[in-house]
Amino acid sequence: MDFLGISASIICGIHCAALPFIMLLTPLAGLRFLAEPWIEYTVIIASLIIAMISLVHGYRTHHHRTLPLRMAGLGFVIIGIGHLFHDHGFNHIAVSIGACLVAWSHFINWKHIHN
């Protein structure tokens, strides 16, 4: 689950960081659907569900350390704050940072489980 969580978070971060460039090329490549808000919200919701399942399981079953949960929580708060502001530069930076925190929390959770 942690690998899936890391992957989903990285995909979310790449999507948000690359979206301005994708928007420039979408009319030429037929990828306009990638700029739709439902794509981003679907990835965020999937990442949140995977994080909750994976990190809570690691906490309860294996290591009882709250750092991965706190990091993921902070990451999702930063993602949420990024979505409150419609300045696309800030939004993309905040969401990318939040996604990196969530991915890092999965990595730390994985390390705690395997130590």
CA-closest candidate to residue 88, choices 24, 43, 42: 24
With 80 as the cut, is the pLDDT of residue 78 above it?
Answer: yes
pLDDT band at 36 (very low <50, low <70, confident <90, very high): confident
With 80 as the cut, is the pLDDT of residue 112 above it?
Answer: yes
Q: What mean pLDDT is reported for the chain?
A: 83
What pLDDT does 35 receive? 65
Q: What is the mean pLDDT of residues 96-115?
A: 89
Q: What's the start-to-end Cα distance of the chain, in Å?
A: 17
What pLDDT does 9 receive? 75
Packing angle of the helix pair 37-58, 2-29 (nearest 10 deg): 170
CB-neighbour burial class of residue 61 (10 A; exposed 0-12, middle 13-18, buried 19+) = exposed
Rounded Cα–Cα distance for residues 97 and 104 (Å): 10
What pLDDT does 11 receive? 76
| 92 within 8 A of 16, measured Cβ to Cβ | yes
What pLDDT does 28 receive? 60
